[in-house]
Structure 1
Amino acid sequence: MTAEERTPDASVGLIDRAPAPVRPYLRLMRADRPAGAWLLYWPCLWGALIARPETMGAEAFWRLVVLFGIGAFVMRSAGCVYNDVVDRDLDAQVARTASRPIASGRVSVKAGWALLVGLSLIGLLVLVQLPLPAILAGVLSLGLVAAYPFMKRVTWWPQAWLGLTFNWGVVVGSAAVAGAVTLPALLTYAAGLFWTLGYDTIYACQDIEDDALAGVKSSARRLGTQAKGGVAGFYAASTAFLAAALFVAGAGPWTALALLPGAQLAWQAVRFAPPDGPLCLSLFKSNVWTGALVTVACLAG
């Protein structure tokens, strides 16, 4: 794959060595940008862990871990395809996204819909392997997913809607283990919401000028010069909600483990410099490690 075909934030690797006809479809699925799949996967584990998986057998729990991994990759890919089909005209007006497969014409809209259907069917096969409460929770997420691409047209806070959507895995994970959405899971969901508000505001700062020209709304544009303080506030709220979740779940002194991801988020907030696009992308990607640290806190707590 040439540099011209690759989006600026894509990694170089296996995708570039795939057969040429397949590459645009892998790019459409964001297979060359795995961070998003991790950001969808971690909340599933948080929900399962905060619901106290010792109530179920080890084999059943590890089966959930695998299913959540497959589901996160497939459904994140499906979401990206759907987003690109809906946003193809807007993407063509933004420098960072103009080379995306549908916006650039390398993949037709019809082919995009076909890929979306195929990925959704795989996701459905994964979903029906889960306990019934988790299946119902998963179905409820469809409204959030369907509405997300349109949020940037109607609200300055599409990042908040993404937070509701991307962290729904907490609800599914809790339902899969406990058969219900527990109070610790709800607090963890709130922590994820503010976490996403922070990292996606950082991400949106890459496109702030092009978004203004295209009329795309975002928290980065809404906050303007206050973006750095806004991100710090979002991350502080995320850490507080995580600590509350661990405490209510009975973690006791282990509640202090919330400071592990909290420290990483504080590092991001201090380094965050809105005009610096490459730095914004680097900080955004570092949230894969934040999610891992939250998982460690939930596991140990």
Structure 2
Amino acid sequence: MTTLHLLRERLDLYEKLMRLDKPIGTLLLLWPTLWALWLSSAGRPDWMLVWVFALGTLLMRSAGCVINDFADRDFDKHVERTRERPLTTGQVSSREALALFALLCLASFALVLLLRKPLLIWLSFAAFFLAATYPLTKRFFAIPQAYLGVAFGFGIPMAYAAQLGEVPAQAWWLLLANIFWAVAYDTEYAMVDRNDDLKIGIKTSAITFGRFDVAAVMLCYAATLALIAWVGSTYALGWPFYTALAIAAGIMGVHYTWIRGRERMACFKAFLHNNWVGGIIFAGIALDFLLR
């Protein structure tokens, strides 16, 4: 076996560890960040910021996957969907995983330093803390999906800080909307693994909500749309934005028809479909500013 072949094999394993073959997580991080970049700039963001945040989103999502698998390496072997992950099977060592996590975080921090925004630099430390500690919340927090929502949405205040040099109230309300959205879509995701999670003692919102899981998802969806609508009203957004919210609401209604039976693959399908929710809301924001 040649050195080149061995290197390619290691890189394939690192790619799986970072979930580069499964872009849904990156997209669920990216859409709220783009909402914030467009809102904070009245639809005219600095394109350097757009590229930096897009790349930073990819790097930090990858880092989050690595540290999550490191923290769950002893649990994942008992879960049907995760037992073949590189860390769980021993194909990648714990030392390699930690080194990769550090490298990804350093690359993300280098992007932040490139922008030379003091507030953004300070916020980046909070983003690192959230990414590093999220996996631990599944041990003691009844709804770790809420913590995930903060971690996945922290690009929102960072985008405002990069664009404006400050973080106004709208950013925090938008972050709250993202928390509700994350609880909704990640509860759908947790419904897939509920039986395995019960066996190994992991805490998830799907377990906490119990028989009210579907109702909780739909209430969180409603809160998401209400908060985003309120934020949009502060920017005097018009019909393109509210049309997009209506379409997003329709998609969420479709998700209800998929998850109400609590079948594993239907719930997973609903989770993946949230990419369309985030994308359509962004399209509404962008189009609204474009037509002004």
Q: Does the pair score TM above 0.5?
A: yes
- Partner in structure 2 of residue 299 of structure 1: 286
1:180 aligns with 2:166: yes
Unpaired runs of 5+ in structure 2? 1-6
- Aligned-pair identity in percent equals 32
Does the residue aligned with 2:20 lie in a helix, a strand or coil? coil
Quote the Cα distance in structure 1 between the aligned partners of 2:286 and 2:176: 18
Quote the Cα distance in structure 2 between the aligned partners of 1:291 and 1:269: 17
1:52 aligns with 2:41: yes
- Partner in structure 2 of residue 287 of structure 1: 274
CA contact (8 A) 2:29 2:152 kept: yes
CA contact (8 A) 2:149 2:182 kept: yes
CA contact (8 A) 2:25 2:61 kept: yes
- Partner in structure 2 of residue 223 of structure 1: 209
Q: Between Structure 1 and Structure 2, how many residues are aligned?
A: 280
Deviation at 1:253, TM superposition (A): 4.9
Deviation at 1:198, TM superposition (A): 0.2
Quote the Cα distance in structure 2 between the aligned partners of 1:156 and 1:186: 23
Quote the Cα distance in structure 2 between the aligned partners of 1:77 and 1:113: 12
Deviation at 1:184, TM superposition (A): 2.2
- Partner in structure 2 of residue 30 of structure 1: 19
CA contact (8 A) 1:184 1:249 kept: no
Residue of 63, 73, 78 corresponding to 2:48: 63
Quote the Cα distance in structure 2 between the aligned partners of 1:274 and 1:215: 24
Question: Where does 1:1-301 land on structure 2 (aligned, <5 Å)?
Answer: 19-53=8-42, 61-130=46-115, 131-253=117-239, 256-257=242-243, 258-273=245-260, 275-301=262-288
Q: What amino acid sits opposite 2:91 in the alignment?
A: R
Quote the Cα distance in structure 1 between the aligned partners of 2:70 and 2:158: 27
Deviation at 1:173, TM superposition (A): 1.0
Deviation at 1:178, TM superposition (A): 1.7
> Any idea what the Cα deviations from partners look like across 1:16-57, whole Å, max 9, x if unmatched?
xx9333221110000111100111111111111121346xxx
Q: What amino acid sits opposite 1:37 in the alignment?
A: T
Deviation at 1:163, TM superposition (A): 0.5
CA contact (8 A) 1:51 1:184 kept: no
CA contact (8 A) 1:160 1:193 kept: yes
Deviation at 1:255, TM superposition (A): 5.2
Q: What amino acid sits opposite 1:62 in the alignment?
A: W
Deviation at 1:172, TM superposition (A): 0.9
In the TM superposition, structure 1's runs of 4+ consecutive aligned residues that sit over 6 Å from their partners are none
Deviation at 1:129, TM superposition (A): 2.1
After superposition, the Cα gap between the structure-2 partners of 1:138 and 1:263, relative to the gap in structure 1 and judged at 3 Å, is farther
TM-score when normalising by structure 1 = 0.88
Does the residue aligned with 2:46 lie in a helix, a strand or coil? helix
CA contact (8 A) 1:51 1:182 kept: no
Deviation at 1:191, TM superposition (A): 1.3
Quote the Cα distance in structure 1 between the aligned partners of 2:261 and 2:108: 36
CA contact (8 A) 2:139 2:202 kept: yes
Does the residue aligned with 2:89 lie in a helix, a strand or coil? coil
TM-score when normalising by structure 2 = 0.90
CA contact (8 A) 1:51 1:174 kept: yes
CA contact (8 A) 1:36 1:76 kept: yes
Structure with more of its chain in helix, by fraction:
2
Deviation at 1:254, TM superposition (A): 5.2
Quote the Cα distance in structure 1 between the aligned partners of 2:250 and 2:174: 17
